[in-house]
Structure 1
Amino acid sequence: MTVAIDQPVPADIRLPATGDQELALEDFRGRIVVLYFYPKDNTPGCTNESRDFAERLADFEAAGAVILGCSRDSVKSHENFRSKQELPFDLLSDADERLCEAFDVIGMKNMYGKQVRGVERSTFLIDADGVLRREWRKVKVPGHVDEVLAAVREHAA
């Protein structure tokens, strides 16, 4: 099952996460969730995007939202990335691509002139009832977080 706007997201996929946790979307019922998928820890675009979300975390929380990042990197890699960048939210490790596949964010990309299979930078806005309300695919980092925050505020109103 692939996610679709105005449909429930797969809430029961439990993944290892930072902070020695296992998390699933169902753990956040009652709160808006901003779930962003990114290709790789400690790469320039992913670092900038994650920092942008971190800088605006108080605004997202004021609007009733929690932020979760997700990539195929290991929890150990996530812990290092989170610590180095001082990220104040959890990162999910989807090494077996279950959540990535459910959100259809795996695709062929050009990297240094070669076709590689990887995560397409994407963000999803999930309401307090676990229903997908907005999606941003093939995200360009500059200005993205502001656009997501505006959508969260609109949805929370």
Structure 2
Amino acid sequence: MTIAVDTAVPEFTAQATSDTTVILSELKGKNIVIYFYPKDNTPGCTTEGQNFRDNAAAFSAANTVIFGVSRDSLRVHTNFKAKHEFPFELISDPEEELCKLFDVIKLKKNYGKEYMGIERSTFLINADGVLVQEWRKVRVKGHVEEVLEAVQAL
């Protein structure tokens, strides 16, 4: 099942850094940015996380929480978060439950090899739990600013 824009996001629970359990219904009343990225400690993923970090205060001022999601383990996430001082939690999704819910597992090609991996994507959920915007096949440069503008327009 894939969530369409302008529909309510089904309840989910996910494990995140800082011994956090993310439960969608407990975030009602806040906007949520969930960004999916392929792998911790890779150049594009690091830059994207740093861009969200550098704009975290502006997102917070707009009543918005940020979550990064990849298939990396909580241990790897914890180190990645600490190393780059991310002020938001990273969700570990090794079973790809959230990845499947948001339909971000796609056939990818790298150096002639084909594999199934996370397509860099970002989703904006409003304070009522409705998916209001999605960005797929994200290019890192300028992306966080675009997401922030969308949040501020809510």
Which category describes the TM-score, using the shorter chain as reference length?
over 0.9
Question: How far 1:59 moved relative to its partner?
Answer: 0.5
Question: How far 1:48 moved relative to its partner?
Answer: 0.2
Counterpart amino acid of 1:4?
A
Q: What are the Cα deviations for residues 57-108 of structure 1, in whole angstroms up to 9, with x where unaligned?
A: 0001111111111011100010010011111100000110111000000011
When normalised by structure 1's length, the TM-score is 0.96
- Secondary structure of the residue aligned to 1:19 is coil
2:65 corresponds to which residue? 66
- Secondary structure of the residue aligned to 1:52 is helix
1:14 corresponds to which residue? 13
How far apart in 2 are the matches of 1:144 and 1:62? Answer: 19
When normalised by structure 2's length, the TM-score is 0.98
Q: How does 1:112-127 map to 2 (within 5 A)?
A: 112-127=111-126
- Secondary structure of the residue aligned to 1:48 is helix
Q: What are the Cα deviations for residues 34-69 of structure 1, in whole angstroms up to 9, with x where unaligned?
A: 110000000000000000000000001111111111
C-alpha RMSD of the superposition: 0.8
1:33 corresponds to which residue? 32
How far apart in 2 are the matches of 1:14 and 1:153? Answer: 26
How far apart in 2 are the matches of 1:153 and 1:15? Answer: 26
Question: How far 1:24 moved relative to its partner?
Answer: 2.3
Greater mean deviation of Cα atoms: 51-60 or 2-11: 2-11
How far apart in 2 are the matches of 1:27 and 1:94? Answer: 19
Question: How far 1:112 moved relative to its partner?
Answer: 2.0
Question: How far 1:29 moved relative to its partner?
Answer: 0.8
1:56 corresponds to which residue? 55
Gaps of 5+ in 2: none
